Chain A
Amino acid sequence: MIGIDKKLDSDGCDLSNLDSFLSDRVQSVPPSGIRRFFDLANEMKGQVISLSIGEPDFVTPWAVREAGIYSLEQGHTHYSPNQGYIELRQAVSHYLADRQGLNYDPQSEIVISVGGSEAIDLAVRAVINQGDEVIIPEPCFVAYKACVSLAGGVPVTIACKPENDFKLTADQLAAAITPKTKLLMLGYPNNPTGAVMSRDELEKLVRVIEDKPILVLSDELYAELTYEPAVHQSIITLPGMRERSILIGGFSKAFAMTGWRIGYACGPQKIMAAMNKIHQYAIMSSPSTAQDAARVAIQDSEKYVAPMREEYNRRRRLVVNACREAGLECFEPLGAFYAFPDIRSTGLTSNQFCEKFLQEEKVAIVPGNAFGECGEGFVRISYAASMDNIREAMKRLKNFVSRSKQNV
């Protein structure tokens, strides 16, 4: 920058050191601890098989893409209402009623967001005051903690245990609650573990919070990707939960629409109005093209999701079977598109395992500790990749693990 080197402002602040201008909140969010690994994987992109990606390898179903093209042809290139086109909100409302028996008023209880991620950010910002505590069971999607910190809240993480398949237990939840607790963030089916919570398990959590002033954010982005015998059960369907819960849903994972950036939030009218206020000032509205395409997807959801779900399920069985044959313990992931095997028997840390696996076998996967410290000793394998790539990668995994174990 010309002209500002060493120039001092009136408070003596050094403009050449722009770090000092960054907000404390932004600076309080630590850079990713595995940045080095990310860079390495990106550098080797093209030469490696990537089982590291948290997005479907499928392209959006053609009928949905075609709806987007038609929308553009019709000249739907303007702002939509802030909370989204009413037709899409109605479609979301019907869909949730049909799939989960949840009833949300499309006029006042649904906001269409720019992906599930924006909806999470909106929800946190709408309810969190400086110093409010937010309970986050880990391992989990990496954005939860950052959103809470950026909103001035205090993330209180719970280290979920491998022996519970990394599911949150009532005891752990009860122990984390303080008078400052405002919000509990749940993400099931879980990224990165693939764990799914049963009705029984959720009921135990409800009993812990039902007499306390605690809200629940239920991130259900992977709800459609749940495999037999598991069924997706939203905590919001349990008695008394609807009025204190925010449901986050999306199109990215179920309909392979990551790049369209479209999701939604549902909840009590007051909270939705608050979220819509932030959404309105920060984003204005979600992309109109994406909304038109998403409506087609969700109106006929099973037609588009079923073939992908069946294919994921086959890959899931293949990956879990291969991990176990390779000598890694791996609990049965019944949701999302991840397996989360235990690599401690190799004597390597998660980072070492992933770095060596990348360098020696040219396969990229993600260290478990990227999703919270308690994920150390585990790795996340995404099976959102072609069957051919998965089969080859699993062959290499077997070689790598057997080599590593010889060195233990």
Chain B
Amino acid sequence: MIGKREEILHLLEQNARLSVEEISVMTGQPEEEVRATIQELEDMNIILGYGALVNWEKTTSAPVTALIEVNVTPQRDRGFDEIARRIYRYPEVKSCYLMSGGYDLMVILEDTSLKDVAMFVSEKIAPLESVISTRTHFVLRKYKMNGTEFIKQDEDDREAIIL
């Protein structure tokens, strides 16, 4: 049994357009309580924003997604945070994670073009003093993102009525 707070988070993660009224009905919690919980989650930076899950490949814009592995030298007293911040502050960076394993930072660019990625790596990341090396991977096809499969089998093929 998941907690009431987690239930609201799961619902909003699946569909950020749900209204407070609808969430209240679905979860059986009073509206004021739902409203207060969501406010609290926003205040605590647990809910960071509300976005749509976009399949950019179907739009006319450049649909390139790049994953850049970055090896860096951690800085004294500041570890990886300082160098990570210098990278993730670029608005092109969609996600940035500190990783265990063969490299240190995973930097993800989305909705961009090959050329822009190349420019970004060579002009913005590689010249940074703490950056030792980078490896750039391009996504060829997205099958599933944030729990949603890109090829939807949403036809209901059940018999209309059985017994």
Q: B1, B11, B22, B161: which contacts A52 (Cβ < 8 A)?
A: B161
Contact between A364 and B162 (Cβ–Cβ < 8 Å)? Answer: no
B123-163 CB mask vs A (1 if < 8 Å, else 0) is 00000000000000000000000000000001010111111
Are A317 and B26 neighbours in the complex by a CB distance under 8 Å? yes
Is B25's beta carbon under 8 Å from chain A? yes
Min CB distance, A72 to chain B, in Å? Answer: 21
Tell me which of B11, B26, B27, B160 contacts A50 (CB under 8 A): B160
Nearest CB on A from B151, distance (A)? 14
Are A53's CB and B27's CB within 8 A? no
Q: Is A38 an interface residue (CB 8 A)?
A: yes
Give the distance in Å from the alpha carbon of A306 to the alpha carbon of B27 in the complex: 15
Given contacts A310-B2, A310-B7, contact A54 B26 (CB under 8 A): no
Determine whether B101 belongs to the interface, using a CB cutoff of 8 Å to chain A: no
Taking a contact as CB atoms under 8 Å apart, the answer to whether A142 and B163 are in contact is yes
CB proximity of B16 to chain A, nearest CB, Å: 14
Contact of B162 among A44, A45, A55, A306 (CB under 8 A): A55
B27 near A314 (CB under 8 angstroms)? yes
Indicate whether B102 reaches chain A with its CB closer than 8 angstroms.
Answer: no
Given contact pairs A310-B2, A317-B26, A321-B25, A41 touches B160 in the complex (Cβ within 8 A): yes
* Interface SS, B side: loop
Determine whether the beta carbon of B156 is less than 8 Å from that of A50.
yes
Q: A314 touching B163 by the CB < 8 A rule? A: no
| Cα(A42)–Cα(B162), bound, Å | 10
Q: Is the CB of B161 within 8 A of A366?
A: yes
Cα distance A389–B156 in the bound complex, in angstroms: 11
Distance (whole angstroms) from the CB of B12 to the closest CB of chain A:
13
Residues 1-36 of B contacting A (Cβ, < 8 Å): 1-2, 7, 11, 15, 22, 25-28
B88 to chain A, nearest CB (A): 33
With both beta carbons as reference points, the residue of chain B lying nearest to A191 in the complex is identified as B163
Smallest beta-carbon distance B5→chain A, Å: 14
Interface size, chain B (Cβ < 8 Å) = 18
Query: Given A314-B26, A317-B25, A318-B26, A364–B158 Cβ distance below 8 Å?
Result: no
- Smallest distance from the beta carbon of B137 to chain A beta carbons, Å? 27
Within the complex, what minimum Cβ distance (angstroms) separates B28 from chain A? 5
Q: Categorize the interface residue count of chain A.
A: 20 to 34
Contact A53 B158 (CB under 8 A): yes
Assess whether B161 is in contact with A38, with CB atoms less than 8 Å apart. yes
Considering only residues 378-408 of chain A, those with a C-beta below 8 Å from chain B are: 385-387, 389, 391
Question: Given that A54-B163, A310-B7 are contacting pairs, would A318 and B158 also be in contact in the complex, using a CB cutoff of 8 Å?
Answer: no
**Chain A minimum-CB-distance residue to B2:** A310
B25→A318 contact, CB < 8 A: yes
Chain B residues with Cβ below 8 Å from A54 are 162-163
From A50, A366, A387, give the contact of B158 (CB < 8 A).
Answer: A50
* Closest Cβ neighbor of A385 among chain B residues: B156
Report which of B22, B27, B160 forms a contact with A42, defined as CB distance below 8 A. B160
Residues of A contacting B161 in the complex (Cβ-Cβ under 8 angstroms): 38, 41-42, 50, 52-53, 364, 366
- CB of A317 within 8 A of CB of B160, answer no
Question: Per-residue 0/1 for A41-61: is the Cβ within 8 Å of any B Cβ (1 yes, 0 no)?
Answer: 110110010101111010000
Taking a contact as CB atoms closer than 8 A, the residue among A45, A318, A391 that contacts B160 in the complex is A45
- Taking the closest CB of chain A, its distance from the CB of B125, in whole angstroms, is 38
The answer on a CB contact under 8 Å between B25 and A55 is: no
Nearest Cβ distance between residue A50 and chain B, in whole angstroms? 6
State which residues 283-335 of A face B: CB under 8 Å.
Answer: 306, 310, 314-315, 317-318, 321
**B97-119 contacts to A (CB < 8 Å):** none
Indicate with 1 or 0, residue by residue over A139-151, a CB within 8 angstroms of chain B CB atoms.
0011100000000
Q: How far is the CA of A130 from the CA of B35 in the complex (A)?
A: 63
Docked Cα-Cα span, A54 to B160, in Å, equals 10
How many whole Å from B61's CB to the nearest CB in chain A?
Answer: 27
Asked whether, in the complex, the Cβ of B163 is within 8 Å of the Cβ of A52, the reply is: no
A42-B7 Cα distance, complex, nearest whole Å: 36
A306 contacts which chain B residues (CB < 8 A)? Answer: 1
A143-B25 contact in complex given A50-B158, A55-B158, A310-B7, C-beta closer than 8 Å: no
Besides A48-B160, A318-B26, 5 other A-B contacts (C-beta < 8 A)? A42-B161, A57-B158, A317-B27, A364-B160, A366-B161
18 inter-chain pairs at a CB distance below 8 angstroms, sorted by A residue, are A41-B161, A42-B160, A44-B160, A45-B160, A48-B160, A52-B161, A53-B159, A53-B161, A142-B163, A314-B27, A317-B25, A317-B26, A317-B28, A364-B160, A366-B161, A386-B156, A389-B156, A391-B22
Please provide the 6 A-B residue pairs with the shortest distance between their CB atoms, ordered closest to farther: A314-B26, A45-B160, A42-B160, A41-B160, A321-B25, A38-B161
